[in-house]
Amino acid sequence: MRKNTAASPANPIFFSTFASHWAYQSQWSYYITEFMEEKKNYKRTTVTAALPYANGGVHIGHLAGVYVPADIYVRYLRLKKQDVKFICGSDEHGVPITIRAKKEGITPQQVVDRYHAMIKKSFEDFGISFDIYSRTTSETHSRVASEFFRKLYEEGKLVEKTSMQYYDEEAKQFLADRYITGECPHCHNPKAYGDQCEKCGSDLDPTELINPVSAISGSKPVLKETKNWYLPLNEYQDWLKEWILEGHKEWRPNVYGQCKSWLDLDLQPRAMTRDLDWGIPVPVEGAEGKVLYVWFDAPIGYISNTQELMPEDWETWWKDPDTRLVHFIGKDNIVFHCIIFPAMLKAHGGYILPDNVPANEFLNLENDKISTSRNWAVWLHEYLVELPEKQDVLRYVLTANAPETKDNNFTWKDFQERNNSELVGIYGNFVNRALQLTKKYFDCVVPACGELQDIDRQTIAEFHDVKAGVERLLDSFKFRDALKEAMNLARIGNKYIADTEPWKVAKTDMKRVETILNISLQLVANLAIAFEPFLPFSSARLRKMLNIDRFDWNQLGSTDLLEAGHKLNEPELLFEKIEDDVIAYQLQKLEDTKKANAEAAYKAKEIKPTIAFDDFEKIDVRVGLIKACEKVKKADKLLKFTIDDGSGQDRTIVSGIAKYYNPEDLVGKRVCFVANLAPRKLKGIESQGMILSAEDFDGSLSVITTSAEVKPGSVVC
Ligand SMILES: Nc1ncnc2c1ncn2[C@@H]1O[C@H](COP(=O)(O)OP(=O)(O)OP(=O)(O)O)[C@@H](O)[C@H]1O
Ligand SMILES: [Zn+2]
């Protein structure tokens, strides 16, 4: 789903203060309604996850923001044997795809074919368990979206309007959205797009841009009249206010707050068509050369993909009031899912509306915004090559650190720590101890449970409580906290084994060891259930070790999951430690990306104002032969040079190039230096001149040498 567009109302400053005010207020209503709200008993749930935009691969931001939480939720409902469908697909229309196609000299269809396949595979590899993953270039989608538009058109729900739009006379084409760039009227970013400024987040109209330029030909566009069809959002404003601001106070504060700040402004009619040739043709006479706006077409993709999955009874999942609709998205998609799409559904009639839209904030990578175009991301397809079979580690870290209430940061250090100290140190450790001890004392056969002692009863009671806790959190979309609760089970298990010390008891009382290990194994089986929605690959491996095909969610908290006499399989390690060199490799890769970006963005500095020849002549630049060079103590940037300047006396120069040279490599080299610069003291050493260096794009310095072995003291002119 396309990033951005209308992430916030026109005035971003107003928006941010307002949103935080609301976040505060609605936090209370959020907690209150969570407990007070009479939950409707729905019969089934339609879960959608934002349609990823098919012009790049899938990165950790996508997973953390949308697909992992959606998958956890769906797996949880399935485990509870609830009726649920999980719908997604690629979003394959819109301007950025056409721009990429032009750049690469291929067709837009070729672009989306490539990325659709790549995205689909990444989701499969990470266990994102969609019931369907289709695409908006499918025939079904084209038909469904056209019919949807046609109905609104025929019933007079759309407003036909002519307006002045930018037109590229060289390319003979109207310039929609990202086809036009220019200076942002708010923050003066020179590279703002026709629909949005990525720097300040303002929602823009192309005509607001200062000095607009066509992204196709680079020429200055002209304004030309064109006709488009608009959804009069203003007519839905009162209804939206009532439905969201009164009816959905339980939505997350970030979602509710963003809706409120939109609804407090006057909503404007929004064009649902574009003058473009890539997309679904507008099914109306006189609309040649126009396609449906990508944000009109994309959310309808949820409906058409459901139709593709269930041609016969899809309507039950979209029209029956007993169906609950939940949209998982990232924060830049809130307005489209909470305001525009619901207004479309309302205008059409007959559809249910979302019951909740648990949007996440954004995940950053090593303190910088994740970006496909700057390649600042951890790509799923690369991750699996470099860290094979570690899908669950990433799922774990992204959930434990999910940007549920604010933007969060992914760091490789945190990734390593969480793996080593939590997955290996707590969860894996408990499982391993319980299974290894059972192997040692009982040859992998589950021992019988004898008489319980207080510590056993207490542990079992604590375990029992966890189920309700995890459920309450999952039901209210608090995935981070739910995962913490599941991890608590493993902590309880570890403590139980540490306190009961079966390896010591084994010397005197094997009957007691049987009971301790029976309880420990029941706890291990509980972990397989509790972690199933979060870490499906590990749960499957654990079930295999336990020699059990499946568990149900309802069994969570039980202590009779494994019968006495049941034979377990050979234990394996559930998680492995991640070593420092693995992390160092990832950090180096990011460093390399940073460098490549700096190189790509390199532009020579502007030339300084012209000077007279006399001024130039005042500078005496000479060649010097380096006789000695050493590091300056307590100054990691500085080198001290002893230079033969031809005068017969040595000259000392201190230069800030220590980061780029080994001192001994410079001895014997001829360098150019300013000989008549006023001396200056650096770290107590008097520097008599300045060695000339060229500064590269990344700030690194390279000394200027001569191409022939000229005499020391030669004049550089
Ligand atoms: N860094 C992130 N953190 C959280 N959610 C994200 C992040 N990046 C994208 N998303 C969400 O993932 C979903 C799909 O993203 P989409 O395909 O539109 O990519 P995008 O927003 O253009 O990102 P990018 O420019 O990095 O490719 C959207 O709902 C979006 O909000
Ligand atoms: Zn701006």
Q: Which residue has the higher pLDDT, 63 or 178?
A: 63
Ligand nearest to the CA of 209: 2
Q: Dump strand ranges (E) for 232-384.
A: 270-271, 273-275, 290-292, 323-328, 354-356, 363-365, 368-369
Asked if CATH classification 3.30.420.10 holds for the domain at 408-555, the reply, yes or no, is no
Separation between Cα atoms, residue 695 and residue 21, nearest integer Å? 47
Count of Cβ atoms closer than 10 Å to residue 86 Cβ: 24
Measured CA to CA in angstroms, residue 298 lies from 61, 91, 93, 160, 544 at distances of 20, 6, 8, 21, 41
Indicate which residue's Cα is closest to atom 12 of ligand 1. Answer: 62
3-state secondary structure 517-552: HHHHHHHHHHHHHHCCCCCHHHHHHHHHHHCCCCCC
Q: Answer for the pair 474, 483: CB distance below 8 angstroms, yes or no.
A: no
pLDDT at 7 over 70: no
pLDDT at residue 320, rounded to an integer = 98
pTM: 0.87
pLDDT at 24 over 80: no
Query: For residue range 124-142, what is the model confidence (pLDDT) as tens digits?
Result: 999 999 999 999 999 999 9
Asked if CATH classification 2.40.50.140 holds for the domain at 613-716, the reply, yes or no, is yes
Separation between Cα atoms, residue 600 and residue 594, nearest integer Å? 10
pLDDT at 398 over 50: yes
- Helices 391-400, 536-546: axis angle to 10 degrees equals 120
Give the residue numbers of the binding site for Zn(2+): 184, 187, 197, 200
Q: What are phi and psi of 506, to 5 degrees?
A: -60, -20
Query: For residue range 154-169, what is the model confidence (pLDDT) as tens digits?
Result: 999 999 999 999 999 9
Query: For residue range 50-60, what is the model confidence (pLDDT) as tens digits?
Result: 999 999 999 99
Q: What DSSP string runs through 387-422?
A: STT-HHHHHHHHHHT--SSS-EEE-HHHHHHIIIII
Mutation test of ligand 1: which of 51, 332, 369, 407 has the most ligand atoms closer than 8 Å to its C-beta?
332
pLDDT at residue 697, rounded to an integer = 85
Collapsing DSSP to helix, strand or coil, 504 comes out as helix
Characterise 90 by phi-psi region: left (phi > 0), alpha (psi -120 to 50), beta (else). Answer: beta
Percent of residues in the chain assigned helix, strand, coil, to nearest 5: 45, 20, 35
pLDDT band at 602 (very low <50, low <70, confident <90, very high): confident
Kindly compute the dihedral angle of the four CA atoms of residues 242, 245, 248, 251, in this order, to the nearest 10 degrees: 160
Query: For residue range 560-579, what is the model confidence (pLDDT) as tens digits?
Result: 999 999 999 999 999 999 99
Query: For residue range 336-365, what is the model confidence (pLDDT) as tens digits?
Result: 999 999 999 999 999 999 999 999 999 999
pLDDT at 430 over 60: yes
pLDDT at residue 176, rounded to an integer = 83
Q: From ligand 2's centre to the CA of 195, what distance in Å?
A: 11
Indicate which residue's Cα is closest to atom 1 of ligand 1. Answer: 61
Among 28-42, 198-212, 259-273, 655-669, name the one with the lowest average pLDDT. 28-42
Q: Output the ligand 1 site: residues, CB below 6 A.
A: 1-3, 50, 52-53, 56, 61-62, 64-66, 329-330, 332-333, 360, 362-363, 370-372, 403
Domain positions in the chain? 408-555, 613-716
